[in-house]
Structure formats: structure tokens, C-alpha cells
Structure 1
């Protein structure tokens, strides 16, 4: 095998940012040339960005992508460039990889299998390519082959599996590439981040190198590209079942160039060198997602209603860690510049000073708020360096309550009006925190988590209100242990008071001793029911019978928990439809716009719950 230096580029792109995207590509190619890389692969849809959504329907968008590709031709000298873009042929749109060489378009490979599960909706825009088929494409007057092809570079034959292509078992294109004796298979991907997914990719790449008898090179997109999905920028190289290269994930850079010599002579990576800690993955993913969301939306920072409880405190720490991690990865000056903070903080500002600029918090007390949560919020904000405000909403709550009492002709009471009296406190907090957000030209951070989304334990236009909901895709049980981890492992000592509190909404009078788990059920049980009911689509009776074997919970109590979950799930779909955009972080989520669709109006599992009730 000849000595061929190959490379992969991960890029943080943005739909419709044609200049910025092309600039990232240009810089990456120049760096690759400086490293003497001869064959360079970019990720899937790197020119446009994967998250272009219904822009793919248009005629002009793929055409403009072709113009961007044409602009790259002069750079394809002394290097072969493989890069992803959408291409329309005979009114069908295909997800393609273009191969540029000798300042010409050498050929185009089209994706054969489209992702249609979870956050992916590729069949909405693209058509799958037929295996073995080759057509011709008119590229500005030049006929170019398009389809299922292999290529050659210095005697090394190479081909492509584009993202989903590789996950189709015996049907995957890689087996046909093996039949054609390819030496190298590239997998340019736009594979969304999820905790634990990197380990699955490592297994895919190493096993592929055995089964397909080829060096397997995987390269993924990077960053919070378009708002919801996060790409981790993973680059992997495997040969003969051994992993030879893996990069640090979730970088704050605009692009990264990774090199690998086909005649490597390097030892494989030790298995114990690969870190798959979910707490670390979660932290790195959310901090990058927040950073990209802030800078791409051209916002000046974040505003947070900091209650002193687990949800809002976790978000405050994640914003602080965004700054700390960004400064470590980029250096303070580059972080400040990239975040759009030049002139707002000095270029040699400390991370704590930067946090004071980008994170504004407010504790909004009601008559039912405790000194413990005030102390918790204030202690945390001070330890982080965040700006902290404290005001009381009792006057506003009383104003609304008195008006409605006059209108209905009676006094409100906790016995008759429990939900209304709780919700008005949460809703009254929204207008003033939004006002502060507008004044700051910032993003308001909503604080709902996935467990609350499951059962509707959130006040619409109250704690659900926000520009972005960073933790809406993770469950409360995970968050509670993450907060302990963040205090101990990341050194956020300001979480000490938060971690000493029992989660509570603090919306009822304090003598009622309200807690979240008394209102609902243990958060660990919500996770167990959710997995079976929502992720695995099981009916109530099946969920109950499975958990009866797995959990040490008395049968009548477990039956009540399962019944409550299904009733609340069905009743609260309208809330999930209205939640602020959230990041996809776990192996699934309950966001109806990106994963889990459920009818807003339904019979509410009436017959299914009656079946459950009949079980012993």
C-alpha cells in the first residue's frame, strides 16, 4: 500500500451563513495543505449545514450550494477534497459527496439510505440513491458522473458510506465496496450528539474495518449548527479492528483538521484511554450548544430566573462552565472575540469577570419562598460571578388575585383554587424577567426538565417561558446526580446549598411542606415508566407488570404511579407542543418537533387504564 496522507475536517457551520461556511472550509483546506494532506474529507452537507430544514425544498438553495462548490475548485490543487452538499437531479434532491481533484469536479457520490428516526427527517427532503446506479450531472457545462462509485488516489481505492449508510447492517453499501476491493472507506456524517453515542460509533468504526476489510475513516460535523441538534465533531480511524485515532470532542473551534497516514506505523489507542463518562459528555455538549446559540443568535448573554433549586442552578453552572471551558479551549481573548464581547469586557478578563457580563440572574420571591432557597440562589450566583438581583412578586400576585376575586365574587382559597394560586405565582414572574432579558439583549433560559415535560409539572408561560430550554431533554433524576458530580468533580462549591435542598416548587404555603416527589412520584420511577411507556411504546398494563418485577414498590402504589403517569402524559401534550426549543442530549426526548409525536386531544388511555385497574 502506498504512503498516502489522509485527513478529515470537522466544521461548525450555520445554515444560510454562506460566507462564514465557505471561510471555514477555505481555512481548513489551507491548513490541510500545510500538513501535506493529500486526500481530505469533510462531513455530510458541510457546505450548507445539515440543519437547513425546508430550505432544501427550494430550487435556489441547492443551486447556490453548487456555486459554493465551484468556488472551491481552485483550492483542489495538490490535494483531493471530498465535501458534502445537496444536489438536485431531474427534480429529485440527493444528499451527496463531491470529489474535487486537479481543480475539477471528478465525481459525485449519493447517499443510499436516509435517516428517518428520532431527530432525523431526511425523507422529507431527499431521495435515496439506488445501489449500483451511475448517472451524469451537468456541472456548469461539464458532464460529471454521479452515483455509486469508487475512486483512486496513489494506487489506493476509496469509497464512501454517508452517515446512515453505515448503520444498515447487511444492506449497507460498505459490503459492495468490499466486493470492489476498496482499501479505504470514508464515512462523512452529520450524526447528532447523544450521551453514550460516541462509544457506539467507536464500535461501528472498528467492527467495520474488520467486516469491510478496509481502513475506515469517520468524520462528523461540529457544534450547535441550527438550534437543536448538537454535533460533536468526532473523527475516528480504524484498521483491522483496532482504533488508531480519536479526537477530543465538542470543540469550540470553527473547524479542526485531523491527519492520518495510511502507512501509519502507529500503535492503536489503548481501550482505557477512551472516556465515556455521561456527566462529562453532557457538560461538554451543553456548554458548546449554549455558546453557539448565544453567538449565532447575536445575543449579548443569558438571563435566568434563579430559584435556588436544582433545575435553574444546573443551568447557571452550565453557563459558567461554558465560559470556563471556552477560555480553556480558545484562550480568554479568542473566547471574548468569538462571543461578541469585545468592548464589553477587557481582553484579559478572568472567566469570573466574563460570567458577570454574560449571565444575569434574579431570585423572584413570593410569600411561599423560603430563606433556604434565597440563600442557595445568592450563594451560587456569587460563587459563579453572575450578576444577581432579588425582588418580591407578592404585590403582583395580590393584584391579580384581588381582581379575579372581584370578578367572580368570592375569595380564593387553597382548598378550592390550589392550581390557580400556584400557577399565578409562576406566571407573574415571567413578564419582569422577560423585561430584564430585553434590556440586556439576552436570551431567557427556561428551566423545565424532561421529567416535568412528561407529566406537565410546569406552568405554561411561567417556568416554561424562555428563548431556549437547555435541560428539557434530560430527566430530573440525571440532573440531581449531575449537580452532585459538578460540585465534587468540577469544583463548583457554590452548589453545596443547592445539593442540600429537597426539590420543591415552593408555590404552596410553607406549612404544607410541598415537594416535587410528593406531588408526582419519585423521579427515578418517572424515568423507569417513561422508558417503557414512551421510548418503547408499551401500554399501561405491560409497564406495570414489567416494573412490578423490577422495582421494590408495593403493587397498589406502583399501579397508582403508572396510572398517574399515563393520565398526566396524555393531558399535557399541549404543553410539550409549546416548550421553548431544546437541545437534543439523551438517546431520546419528548419534543414533538424533533422526536416524540402524540395527539394533543385523545381519549387519554381510558380503556388501557381500565385494563390496568383490573390486574391483581
Structure 2
């Protein structure tokens, strides 16, 4: 009886379904010709931006320039770097409410002035319900479309995002925009979506974001987004330069679209935003594993926009050709937030605007180029933002100080080439300030105004290092002096003898090791004293205004070993090679010798490294060599450094790894080398708390920076903040009148 009832019900349902289907098929709406979308042409842009922490006026100017460039090229979407409004390196300033307040003010200015159809994606920190998030803010002509918070934070190496931000997890919700933002708007808006839900335009183009670190996580957002049918993935990033790192980053971006299909936009900061790091640009547009556009890695342009015209139907075609993709994407029911705009190129666009971009070869720098160009660009930002007149370098004729001189020369070469084009306002302004009315006709002339070098010799110095120093200075055009500091050293020793009644001697003259070390250190420290005096007064001597920044020249291996005198020439204003190994520096010097015609650098590379602080007992090269003094080679130091930091090894685990790595050595010899390294590392670690701020290049750098995490280069005008204060003061004045 029950079976008969069920069968009857099923028959009734079938009849109703068939009747409804017939009605739909015969309707006028359904019988109209269907409009089939053959392609979805879209033009998109991404950019390198040189943003400076807390310099809101500069950051606003750069963002406005990038938006104007993308809009004029008819781009539908512009992606900018991570935290592009306040700057990525604000560090503990992210904890201050002022930073977010000024970010909202900049955002309101951008939204109010935005008149094109281009959708813009910027970055800033936002405080919501007791938590601060690292966010992407996507806006158009009508205001904010959506705020997308970061879900995975970078908390390793140089990154401490967890100190300032919270990783977001949860559903998308309606976020009430703060009064400090809404009160400035010309078009009223009180709320917007806040969360991870993807966007869909009126012409069914779908897109979503992931931010920097999320690309590197095991379960990246781009995977689930792609399987949900999202066509465009954007990644606003703040990724710093390390030797040999760029290829890893780019391979991840290329491989993710090769595996999942889709259009991937990557934007990165470029430049020094106030600390040790240099962000190396290389913003990308990638389609289905093919690079369509790539911005440069190094350079002096504050804004660099690259664009590509893409047929998004190729995304569906690419994914549809892979049955495994269809199997894994089956059943995904993603909801989308409607983006109230069409972002495809109109069919009426001129033919040249509808030409699809083709793939281009990936551009990667060699390690030697990275060692030259990265620190050079970092130094240029430091020079212009500190408003200094140039640099001072104690030039010893050795590999390290010569490497710094070569990097500074390359910096001048980059600046001169930009200056010659007369198109880079920021470079032109800085060059003209430094030249102070003089004509700049070559790299060497500019180098002669910026770089001041001095050979600081003693009776322990050799004629060969003096000649190398002089020849290199002449070749690069630096303003060069020679100083004999014996009188300074003897004066200190005379004071010591008068107050103690003792006269120390070198071991070769019958003294103890303690006396010998003290006599070496006083020479090194006198060089530092003279360096700072020359840095302050050389511009005055030359009839110029301003001051010079002192350059240090200790490499990462010497810092790791502690093979330096505390408060000697290692105590400078900044150190371009402080995180570059001796091995890489030698390769870089050979490259610079060929690339820039600095042939004297080859002679410098081939000479054994020496401090020249003890009396020379030989006739030719100095008898005191660095590697003998350290008790280990520079190659060994590089191995120790990588195992200590990157391999996270203590003495025991390092010993075990080196047994197989150095099979030519006995177990006793390996253990002795490990013990020697950890002894000197431990007893000299205190030097790292005073080490000169160094360009970051190697991720085994021992540079110590623990507590007050704020930039050490500021935009000292504080122009945005000063204007805000003046407005507040004016409000108070009017209120009291």
C-alpha cells in the first residue's frame, strides 16, 4: 500500500517538472538569440613603488602617480605593494593610532580624487574590534569596494608582523568606516564588506587577493580561490632583497598559475623605506604560468608601472583542459561580492588597445649584479632622504673598503644615467643639490662630489695598499686624501704612559698578546675618530655646506666571527657590505672590474686580506693576514654562519653535519673548528649590539636589533603630521575666539 502511494507521488512530481520545463523552453525570453562571450579582454597594471615609512605626503604622491599612469593607459585594475599607504617598515609605529589616522586621511584623498574606471588596490593597517589587521583596501570611483585582511603573517627572519597585526579568520561582515575617513569624503559612504569573499564584476570577471606571506604558506589562498573559479589573483607584497632570493619568489608565482591557471598580479615595494632592508621590486603579471610583464629589480625610479592586456577566456580554456582541475573544483560553491562595474575592455576600443600581451622572458640578476646594485640603490635612498652632502669612506686598499667604493661608484653611475635623461625629478633634484651649481657631465664628476675617501696609514702600512687605494680613487673620481695617523696613535700612547708608567709593545718586540691587541685596536679606533672629523669638516674645507655620512666596510663573515675592533672603522653611519660574504664580495669585485673598467679591483682581489695593524716583518705583502688571525678561512665562516642561522645548529648538530661535508678532515679537526667558531662567536657577540646598520643581503647576518623596532631613517620634515597639528591648533584658536 505504501509503495503505491510513493510511486504515485513520484509520477505527479515528474509531470510537474516536465510541464515547467516545456513552459520555459517555449517562452519568448528563452528563444531569443543568446549572446556568447568569445573572450574577456581586460587590461591590468601593477607597480613598483618606493614608499617611505610614515612619509605620508611622499607616499600619497607616488600612489597618485601610479594611479594616474594606470588610468591613462586604460587599465581596469591597479595593484600596489603591501602597506603602501604608511610604508611597510613602520614597525612599532604600527602600534600608534596616529599611523592609522593618517592612513585613512591619505585614503580619503585618493578616493576623492579618483575619477577613472580603474579599480585600485592599496594597503594599510586597520584596527577592528580589538584587533589590528594588515589589509588590502580596494576602491573605485564610488568609494571602497572591500577591505581584505591578511590571514597569514610573516614572523620569521626580518619580519615581525605578529608583533603589530593579527591574522584574520572569520566570515565577511559589514564594517563601519571610521569618522576620520567618512568626514573627509565627497561621496558619502558609511560601510563596506570586510573579509575574504572574492569579488565579481558585472561582466562576471572574478578576482581576489592574497598578501605576500600567504603565497608561501602550504595551503595558499590562491589554491582554493582558483578551484572556486576565481580568474584573477592579486598579491600586494613587501618582499626584501636577499642574494639569490628573487628567483625563488618568482618561481612560486609562476608555478602557482602553471598549476592552477589564472591571471596573477604581483606588486612589490622597491627601495629603502627606513631600515636595513632594500625591497627589490620585480612586480609581475603572469597568465597560466607565462610572464606577460615584469618591472625592474633595481633602479632609482620611485614609481614604475607595468601593464598587460589579457584574454581571460584563456584561463577557462587552460583549466578546462585539465580533468584533474575539474575533479578537484567540483562542488565548490563560492559566494561573491558584486563589484558594480564592468572591467572588460569595450568592444569599441581601438584595435591596438585590444592586442593581447604575449609572454616575455623572466629577468634575473646575477649574484654579482645583486651585490653591486642592491646596496647602491639602498645608499641612494639613504643619501637623498638624510639630506646629506655625500659619503666619507676610509679607503685602505683592501677588498672590503674597495668593494664599498665600487658600490658607491655604481650608485653614482645609476644616478648620472637617470639625471642625463632629465625625466626623473627626484634624482634630478638630489643631483642638483649635491652639485651645488656645478655642471655634472659624467659619473666620475658626480662621484667626486659625493664620495670622499682617505687612506689612513701608519708605519705598519705597506706601500702596495697605499698605491691600490690611490689608483682606485683616481679611477672612480672620488675626492681623495692621504693621512698618516702615527702622531695620533703616539699621542694616545704617550698619555697612557704618563698615567700608568707602562709602555705596551707588540709580541714581535717582546710584548704580550694583550699588549699586542691593545696596540692594534688603538690604531683602528684612531681611524674612526679621524673619519668622523673629516666627515664633518671636508664639505667646509671644500667650500660646501652640509655633512658627510661615514661608510663602514666590515663584511658579514668578520661580523659573525667578531673579527673587528669595537668602535673602530666598523662603527660608521651605515655599512653597504655588512651582510655580504667575503666570497661574494670577491666575485663582485671581479665583475665590477670588467663591467665598469675598474681594472685595479682585480689586483685588490688577488692580494691576501690584511689589517696591517702589526709591524711588517716581510719585504713584499704584509705578513699579518686576516685568515691567520681568525684561525679560519672566509669560506669556512660562510659555512658556519649558514648552519648557525639558517640550519639552526648548535655545536653538536653542526659537528654532525660537517663530518659529511668535510670528509677530508678527521673528526678531531672538525670538532676543533666547530669549538673555535662558537668560542669566538660567543665572546664577540657583544659587538653585534653596536654594529653599524648594514645593508641586508645574507640571511645569516648576525646584526642585532632587538627591542625598539622603528626605522632609523626618518622623513624629518614630518610634513603630513605637521599640517595635521597646525589644523588642530587652528581649530582650537577659532574655538576659543
Alignment match of 2:254 (pick from 206, 210, 217): 206
Q: Secondary structure at the match of 1:390?
A: strand
Q: C-alpha displacement at 1:543, in angstroms?
A: 2.3
Alignment match of 1:126 (pick from 165, 180, 183): 165
Which residue of the partner structure matches residue 610 of structure 1?
none
Q: In the alignment, is the contact (CA less than 8 A) between 1:344 and 1:357 conserved in 2?
A: no
The separation in 2 between residues aligned to 1:379 and 1:420, in whole angstroms, is 31
Q: C-alpha displacement at 1:406, in angstroms?
A: 3.0
1:273-292 alignment runs, 5 A limit: 274-292=363-381
The separation in 2 between residues aligned to 1:347 and 1:357, in whole angstroms, is 11
CA RMSD after TM alignment: 2.0
Which residue of the partner structure matches residue 239 of structure 1?
287
Q: Secondary structure at the match of 2:89?
A: coil
> Which has the larger displacement, 475-484 or 301-310?
475-484
**Alignment TM-score, normalising by the size of structure 2:** 0.78
The separation in 2 between residues aligned to 1:174 and 1:339, in whole angstroms, is 44
Q: For 1:217-254, what per-residue CA distance to the aligned partner results, in whole angstroms no more than 9, with x for missing partners?
A: 11101111112111111111222222222222122101
Identify the structure with bigger relative contact order (alpha carbons < 8 Å, sequence gap 6+).
2
Q: In the alignment, is the contact (CA less than 8 A) between 2:536 and 2:548 conserved in 1?
A: yes
1:70-469 alignment runs, 5 A limit: 70-73=108-111, 74-140=113-179, 141=182, 142-153=190-201, 154-170=203-219, 172-263=220-311, 265-270=356-361, 274-331=363-420, 334=424, 335-339=427-431, 341=433, 343-344=435-436, 346-415=438-507, 416=512, 417-439=515-537, 440=539, 441-469=547-575
Q: For 1:474-517, what per-residue CA distance to the aligned partner results, in whole angstroms no more than 9, with x for missing partners?
A: 11122122212221233222324322321000001101710001
Q: In the alignment, is the contact (CA less than 8 A) between 2:525 and 2:568 conserved in 1?
A: yes
Q: In the alignment, is the contact (CA less than 8 A) between 1:227 and 1:293 conserved in 2?
A: no
Which residue of the partner structure matches residue 575 of structure 1?
687
Q: In the alignment, is the contact (CA less than 8 A) between 1:314 and 1:479 conserved in 2?
A: yes
Q: Secondary structure at the match of 1:268?
A: coil
Alignment match of 1:54 (pick from 89, 92, 108): 92
After superposition, the Cα gap between the structure-2 partners of 1:363 and 1:53, relative to the gap in structure 1 and judged at 3 Å, is same
The separation in 1 between residues aligned to 2:654 and 2:221, in whole angstroms, is 38
Q: Secondary structure at the match of 1:466?
A: coil
The separation in 2 between residues aligned to 1:578 and 1:340, in whole angstroms, is 35
The separation in 1 between residues aligned to 2:296 and 2:591, in whole angstroms, is 21
Which residue of the partner structure matches residue 604 of structure 1?
none
After superposition, the Cα gap between the structure-2 partners of 1:459 and 1:286, relative to the gap in structure 1 and judged at 3 Å, is same
Q: Secondary structure at the match of 1:510?
A: coil
Q: Secondary structure at the match of 1:259?
A: strand
Q: In the alignment, is the contact (CA less than 8 A) between 2:642 and 2:700 conserved in 1?
A: no
After superposition, the Cα gap between the structure-2 partners of 1:285 and 1:131, relative to the gap in structure 1 and judged at 3 Å, is farther
Which residue of the partner structure matches residue 490 of structure 1?
596
Q: In the alignment, is the contact (CA less than 8 A) between 1:235 and 1:247 conserved in 2?
A: yes
> Which has the larger displacement, 275-284 or 35-44?
275-284
The separation in 2 between residues aligned to 1:4 and 1:367, in whole angstroms, is 71
The answer to whether the aligner puts 1:585 opposite 2:701 as a matched pair is: no
Q: Which runs of 5 or more structure 1 residues have no equivalent in the other structure?
A: 598-616
The separation in 2 between residues aligned to 1:155 and 1:457, in whole angstroms, is 62
Which residue of the partner structure matches residue 25 of structure 1?
63
Which residue of the partner structure matches residue 63 of structure 1?
101
Q: C-alpha displacement at 1:566, in angstroms?
A: 0.6
The separation in 1 between residues aligned to 2:88 and 2:636, in whole angstroms, is 36
The answer to whether the aligner puts 1:560 opposite 2:667 as a matched pair is: no
Q: C-alpha displacement at 1:139, in angstroms?
A: 4.2
Q: For 1:200-224, what per-residue CA distance to the aligned partner results, in whole angstroms no more than 9, with x for missing partners?
A: 1221111111344321111101111
The separation in 2 between residues aligned to 1:372 and 1:231, in whole angstroms, is 38
> Which has the larger displacement, 423-432 or 97-106?
97-106
The separation in 2 between residues aligned to 1:139 and 1:57, in whole angstroms, is 17
The separation in 2 between residues aligned to 1:564 and 1:437, in whole angstroms, is 38
Which residue of the partner structure matches residue 33 of structure 2?
none
Which residue of the partner structure matches residue 638 of structure 2?
527
Q: C-alpha displacement at 1:348, in angstroms?
A: 4.0
Q: Secondary structure at the match of 2:393?
A: strand
Q: C-alpha displacement at 1:542, in angstroms?
A: 3.1
Count of matched residue positions in the alignment of Structure 1 and Structure 2: 593
After superposition, the Cα gap between the structure-2 partners of 1:149 and 1:178, relative to the gap in structure 1 and judged at 3 Å, is same
Q: C-alpha displacement at 1:383, in angstroms?
A: 0.5
Q: In the alignment, is the contact (CA less than 8 A) between 1:434 and 1:444 conserved in 2?
A: yes
Alignment match of 1:550 (pick from 623, 638, 661): 661
Q: In the alignment, is the contact (CA less than 8 A) between 1:116 and 1:122 conserved in 2?
A: yes
Q: C-alpha displacement at 1:364, in angstroms?
A: 0.6
Alignment match of 1:504 (pick from 587, 604, 610): 610
Q: Secondary structure at the match of 2:577?
A: coil
Q: Secondary structure at the match of 2:433?
A: coil
**Alignment TM-score, normalising by the size of structure 1:** 0.92
Alignment match of 1:514 (pick from 604, 624, 637): 624
Q: Secondary structure at the match of 1:4?
A: strand
The separation in 1 between residues aligned to 2:306 and 2:522, in whole angstroms, is 54
The separation in 1 between residues aligned to 2:688 and 2:158, in whole angstroms, is 16
